[in-house]
Structure 1
Amino acid sequence: MFATATRNFVQEVDRGGLLIPVSSLNDTIALLTLVVKHKRFWRWQKPKYIPTDFDLNDILTGDTPMKPGVIEADFIKYNGTFGDNIQGTVNANFPHTNISIEGKDSSKLQSSFGSLKKEEVEVQKLLRDSKDRVLDMSHKLVQQTKEKPRQVFGIVKERILTTQPCSVIEEVQQGGQCGGGLSLCGPKSTKVSLKENGSLSKDSNITMEIPIHTAIAYALIELEIKHDGRYELCLMSDTTGYFEVDGPAKKRLLGVFGAPGSENSQLRQELEQLSDHFQLLSALPATTRSSLLQQIQKVMADQGAVCSLQNVLEQMCFDKSPEQMCFDKRPALDEVTTTESQKQNIQAIVDLLEQSGQVDSTPVLSAFHLIISAMDEMTNDCLSVLGMCCSLTVLSALELLVQCVLGKGELPLSSAGLAVLTEDIYEKTERLFASSNVSLKRDGNTVKTEISSLPGNHPLVLCIAVRGLASLAHSD
């Protein structure tokens, strides 16, 4: 709840900027606090930031602590209300099984942060004080951070604070129906049918009181750390930190965005490099694909749950060696910071992957991690609208529109598969693409797409998420 509120705040006031939302009230964010920046597997993913219990003075040699100059200023007065009314249906028809889910969710998150102020380190003084200072390379935090790949240090250079007691209020109303049919038949056997129907409704109203002087966002200066402990401050936004002891940085070739060519040709190259992942998902057993699609839609109702699922899958895919995975296939779900019901949904996805034998299949796990990672990069609005479009027919239409984005940018509305775009569905689709920096316009009997020149990877993550979900929805 708090993490969603701060993420909304940053998206509204500094989208594409340097501010990082505070994800937990338990995090201590002070000026010069050491934060570990963890670079992600997919090059378009935002880094993960992990605040530590230490500040820069704790890892400096010598007995004289640095005392940074601090500049304080009023920031803004912020009160935000975010709400969704989501109604969706999933109908999947596979050999021997028919499954349908209908859901209606109404949610409202009200963040009343009130008047905010900004505290900022005086960078010129920090530069002077850092001259000739050396880090203690034997410090446990330094040792543990530099041993892990893709991790660097940053120090908090500014933070946004509350100046009065404030609150975050979440109201949720949920209702749904589920129905399914399973037919079993074999050689010389009697056909057996099993049908289940159920309904669920749930209301909740939660208020979180936020104390005065609570940090809700911060910005970093990354550190270039030499092997002997000398360090430099990365003052330019396009300069990133590193540990010299790690040797030359190895740049990932996957997803090199910015190569010569038009924006849609760049997108096409990116998606072509990922095509094997979508094929792996399409090749899963039909019942596994339908069940995974159902569980994904449940998780999509909560952006925090999508983030938690992404973290769990990342742990399963990359944070453990093959030897460890053989003995410990399940991630530590107790560490997932979301509701108990969403923990159960996440666990259900892990169980489905395990039962289908995919936990031992790194390529399939990586493919599934790919589409969840794309969803995790989406804005709240984009994710909410995508959750409304998870029926087989609508996903097929979205996939055609993605192909249109990657191709000539024009498609006849009379094309097979686009008949599902009724006025209501078209409005949702238009909103979905607009949230991802892609315009969708009707011109007579033609729909035209155009990628905006705004910064970020929103068109790419939209294409990945749609292609991935459509791969799970494809009927045999």
Structure 2
Amino acid sequence: MFAVATRNFVEEVDHGGLLIPVSSLNDAIAPLTVVLKRKRFWFWQKPKYLPTDFNLNDILTGDTPIKPVVAETDFIKYSGTFGDNIQGGVDANFVNSSISLQGKDSSKLQSSFGSLKKEEVDLQSLLRDSKDRVLDMSHCLIQQTKEKHRRILGIVKERIFTAQPCSVIEDVQKGGGCGGILNPCGPRALKLSLKENGSLSKDSNITMEIPVHTTIAFGVIELEIKHNGHYELCVISDTNGGFEVDGPKTGLLGVSGAPVHSSENSHLRQELERLSDHFQALSALSASTRSSLLQHITKLMQDPAAFNALQNVLEQKRLGKTPDGGDVTTTAPQQKNIRAIVDLLELSGQAGSTRQGQSTSVLTALHLMTSALDEMTNDCLPVLGMSCIPTVLQTLELLVQSVLENGELTLSGAALTDDMYEKAEHLFASSKVSLKRDEDVVKTEINHQAGNLPLVLCIAVTSLASLVHDV
């Protein structure tokens, strides 16, 4: 809840900028706090920033501490309300029966941070104070960070914090219903019908009081560390820090090892082709396994915080680690869905390791999917979750193919209703892809300087669609 609120805040006030949302109220962040930057498995994923219990002076040699010049200014007065009113339904007619399922979710997250302040370290004075200073290379934090791949040390150069007590309020209303008619069949069908209707509703209202001086976002300056402990501050935003190495630097693990320039359709197509084994691994699962995975994933997609918890579990398993026993930010039903997904992975891994020489594990394929979904904006994830039925996913997949081929899609041929088109337009626009409707034709166009967002959208849709069709 707090993590979603801070993420919304950063998306609103510094979209595409350098501010990092705070994910936990337990994080104590101040100027010069040492932060661990962890690059992710896929090159298009945003890195994770983990505040440590140390500041820069703790890892320096010598007895003279650096006392930074810090300027405190008023930032903005912020109050935001984010909500979704999502409803959907499925009607199925069979020879002698019919069934109707209806669902409606309403959620609202109100973040009243009030007047916010900003603390910023004066870089000129910090550069002067850092000159000729040496890091203690025997410090446990430096030693453990150096041993890990894709880890970089940085320090907090600015932070946004609350200047008064404030609150985050979440109001959720969930409802659903089902109905059906079953007519007996046979040579002499009786004039009898069985009707069954049911409904389910669940409401929750949670208020979180945020104390004064709570950091909700921060900025980091990375450190480039030499063998002898001397370091440089990476004052240019596109300059990466890290430890000096003896040999050539290795690229990030991922699809191609270098960011894709998604403004060109050919690059998108090449990346999707490189990932085809991952989509194949999902499609090769049994129909029941695919259906169960989609069901559990769809439920978690309604709550970005819960879905992020799933992503963390899969990432831990991807690294060969045992996930934590529980996440305090998730409810018991959400934890149950995460556990069910892990169980399905373990079963499919045992059965699928020898299937047709399968080279890509189901875990890696599902990690790819959840990583792409986790990169989407908070408002898009629930909308896409409500679109996770076969006909809609197949239509979204056709739109993705149109993006890859710079082509056109006929509405009638794709069964793209007006309501479905509005959802698709919102999803694609959030990923810097515009849909232009001209009577019965939809044209797709990638926006200028879209970065990796179109690729993330294509991976997310194609992965989900792989769960609803056979190979």
TM over 0.5: yes
1:357 Cα deviation after fit: 3.5
Partner SS, residue 361 of structure 2: helix
What per-residue deviation string (whole Å, max 9, x for no partner) do you get for residues 429-474 of structure 1? 1111111111111112211000111443221111111000000011
Structure 1 residue 388: Cα displacement: 1.8
Return 353-362 or 429-438, whichever deviates more. 353-362
Aligned residues: 445
Q: 1:443 to 1:293 in 2, by over 3 A?
A: same
CA 42–261 in structure 1, closer or farther in 2 if over 3 Å, else same: closer
**Contact (CA 8 Å) 2:119, 2:160: kept in 1 or not?**
yes
**Aligned partners of 1:23 and 1:347: how far apart in 2?**
22
Q: Please give the secondary structure, in 1, of the residue aligned with 2:132.
A: coil
1:254 aligned residue: 255
Q: Does 1:347 align with 2:339?
A: yes
Q: Is residue 33 of structure 2 the alignment partner of residue 41 of structure 1?
A: no
Cα pair 1:89 1:388 within 8 Å, conserved? no
Distance (Å, rounded) in 1 between the aligned partners of 2:308 and 2:101: 23
Give 2:457's aligned residue: 462
2:162 is aligned with 1:162: yes
Query: Which of 342, 349, 356 is the aligned partner of 2:348?
Result: 356
* Matched residue, 1:331: 323
Q: Does 1:440 align with 2:468?
A: no
Q: Do the aligned partners of residues 134 and 261 (structure 1) sit closer, same or farther apart at CA in structure 2, a change above 3 Å counting?
A: closer
The residue that corresponds to 1:386 in the other structure is 384
- In structure 2, the partner of 1:423 is 418
Q: 1:424 to 1:144 in 2, by over 3 A?
A: same
Structure 1 residues 218 and 50, CA gap change in structure 2 (3 angstroms): same
The Cα shift of 1:391 comes to 0.8
Q: Report the Cα distance in structure 2 between the residues aligned to 1:310 and 1:158, rounded to whole angstroms.
A: 28
Rounded Cα–Cα distance in structure 1 between residues aligned with 2:101 and 2:45: 31
User: Given that residues 223 and 241 in structure 1 are in contact (C-alpha distance below 8 angstroms), is that contact kept between their aligned partners in structure 2?
Assistant: yes
Q: Which amino acid aligns with 2:300?
A: V
Q: Corresponding residue for 1:395?
A: 393
**Aligned residue in 1 for 2:65:** 65
Using the TM superposition, give the Cα deviation of residue 347 of structure 1 relative to its aligned residue in structure 2, in angstroms: 0.9
1:52: how far off?
A: 0.5
How many angstroms apart in 1 are the aligned matches of 2:104 and 2:373?
20
- Where does structure 2 lack aligned partners over 5 or more consecutive residues? 181-195, 354-359
Secondary structure (helix, strand or coil) at the match of 1:473 reads coil
Letter in 2 for 1:249: K
CA-to-aligned-CA distance 1:338-365 (integer Å, 9 cap, x gap): 2222111111111121233359956210
Inter-partner Cα distance in structure 1 for 2:327 and 2:83: 27
CA distance in 2, matches of 1:100, 1:18: 47
Aligned to 1:292: 293
* Deviation digits for residues 29-62 of structure 1 (CA, Å, limit 9, x no counterpart): 0000001000000000000111101000000001
Alignment CA distance shift 1:423-1:238 (3 Å):
same
Partner secondary structure for residue 125 of structure 2: helix
Q: Does 1:239 align with 2:239?
A: yes
Find the counterpart in structure 2 of residue 272 from structure 1.
273
- One-letter amino acid of the structure 1 residue matched with residue 55 of structure 2: D
Seen in structure 2, the aligned counterparts of structure 1 residues 358 and 16 have a Cα distance that, compared at 3 Å, is farther
2: distance between equivalents of 1:70 and 1:369?
A: 41
Task: Give the 3 Å change call, closer, same or farther, for CA 333–103 of structure 1 in structure 2.
Answer: farther
| Aligned-partner SS, 1:414 | helix
What is the distance in 2 between the residues matched to 1:155 and 1:260? 30
The percent identity for this pair of structures is 72
| Partner Cα separation in structure 1 for residue 281 and residue 221 of structure 2 | 40
Please say if residues 345 and 362 of structure 2, whose CA atoms lie closer than 8 Å, have aligned partners that are also in contact: no
Q: Is the 8 A contact 2:34 2:54 kept in 1?
A: yes
Residue 250 to residue 102, structure 1, CA distance change in 2 (3 Å): farther
Structure 2 letter corresponding to 1:77: K
Do 1:223 and 1:231's aligned partners in 2 also have CA atoms closer than 8 Å?
A: yes
Matched, 1:474 2:469: yes
- Equivalents in 2 of 1:260, 1:331: separation in Å? 34
CA distance in 2, matches of 1:79, 1:215: 16
For the Cα contact (< 8 Å) 2:5–2:109, is it kept in 1? yes
**Aligned residue runs from structure 1 range 72-151, under 5 A:** 72-88=72-88, 102-151=102-151
Length-normalised TM-score, structure 1: 0.88
Letter in 1 for 2:387: C
Q: Once the 2 structures are TM-superposed, how far is the Cα of residue 259 of structure 1 from its aligned partner?
A: 6.2
* Paired position in structure 2 for 1:405: 403
Residues 50-61 of structure 1: pairs in structure 2 closer than 5 A:
50-61=50-61
Q: Offset of 1:172 from its aligned partner?
A: 0.6
Instruction: State the SS of the aligned residue for 1:29.
Output: coil
Partner residue, 2:316: 315
Report the AA paired with residue 77 of structure 2: K
How far does the alpha carbon of each residue in 1:249-277 deviate from its partner, in whole angstroms, 9 at most, with x for none?
21147245666895211111111111110
Q: Which piece of structure 1 moves more, 345-354 or 157-166?
A: 345-354
The one-letter amino acid paired with 2:119 is E
Could you say if the C-alpha distance between residues 4 and 247 of structure 1 is closer, same or farther in structure 2, counting changes exceeding 3 Å? farther
Q: CA RMSD in A?
A: 2.5
CA contact (8 A) 2:349 2:362 kept: no
Give the superposition deviation at 1:160: 0.3
> Is the Cα contact below 8 Å between 1:90 and 1:294 reproduced in 2?
no
Structure 1: tracts of 5 or more residues without a match: 181-195, 321-329
Q: What displacement does 1:411 show?
A: 2.1
Contact kept? 2:260, 2:268, Cα under 8 Å: no
> Contact conserved, 1:92 with 1:392, CA < 8 A, in 2?
no
Instruction: Work out whether residues 358 and 365 of structure 1, in 8 Å CA contact, stay in contact via their aligned partners in 2.
Output: no
Q: Residues 402 and 214 of structure 1: is their aligned pair in 2 closer, same or farther, counting only changes over 3 Å?
A: same
With normalisation by structure 2, the TM-score equals: 0.89
